[in-house]
Amino acid sequence: MYRQGLGDCFLLAFPGSNGPTYMLIDCGVFMGTKNAAKRMTAVVENIKAATNGRVDVLVVTHEHWDHVSGFGQAKEIFKKIKVGQLWLAWTEDPANQLADVLRKERAMRLNALKLAVGRLRLSRRVTAENTNKLLGFFGVDALKATEAAALGAKGGGATGAAFDTAKSLTTRVKYCYPDKKAPEVPGVSGARVFVLGPPEKRELLLKSDPSKKDSEVYELAGGLGFEMGFLAALPFAVDSGARVRTEDRERFDRSHPFEERYRVKPGTAETIDKGFFATYYGVGESTKRNTEKWRRIDDDWLGYAGALALKLDSDTNNTSLALAIELTPGGKVLLFPGDAQVGNWLSWHERSWRTDDGKRIDIKDLLARTVFYKVGHHGSHNATLREKGLELMSDSELAAMIPVEKEMVDKKKWKMPFEPLHKRLEEKTRGRMIRADVEWPQSKSAKPKGLSRAEWNAFKANVRYDETNKKKPLYVDFTISTTPRGGN
The amino acid occupying position 358 is G
CB of 59 closer than 8 Å to CB of 23: yes
**Cα angle 89, 62, 4; round to 5:** 135
pLDDT, mean over the chain? 84
pLDDT attached to residue 393: 97
pLDDT attached to residue 216: 29
CA 476 to CA 48: how far, in whole Å?
16
Is 47 a domain residue? no
Domain that holds residue 272: 98-158+220-312
Is 88 a domain residue? no
How long a stretch of residues is the chain?
A: 488
Closest to 481 in 3D by CA, of 59, 8, 164, 15: 15
Is 106 a domain residue? yes
CA 67 to CA 138: how far, in whole Å?
10
How far apart, in Å, are the Cα atoms of 62 and each of 26, 58, 303, 318, 402? 9, 12, 27, 9, 18
Is 291 a domain residue? yes
Share of the chain above pLDDT 70, in %: 83
Is 112 a domain residue? yes
Is 11 a domain residue? no
pLDDT attached to residue 344: 93
Q: State if pTM tops 0.75.
A: yes
Using a 10 angstrom Cβ sphere, with 0-12 exposed, 13-18 middle and 19 or more buried, the burial of residue 392 is middle
Is 169 a domain residue? no
SS3 label, residue 393: coil
Domains of the chain: total: 1
pLDDT attached to residue 469: 84
CB of 108 closer than 8 Å to CB of 220: no
pLDDT attached to residue 214: 37
Is 264 a domain residue? yes
Name residues of the chain where pLDDT drops below 70: 145-157, 206, 208-229, 232-233, 235-249, 251-252, 254-255, 266, 272-274, 284-291, 441-445, 485-488
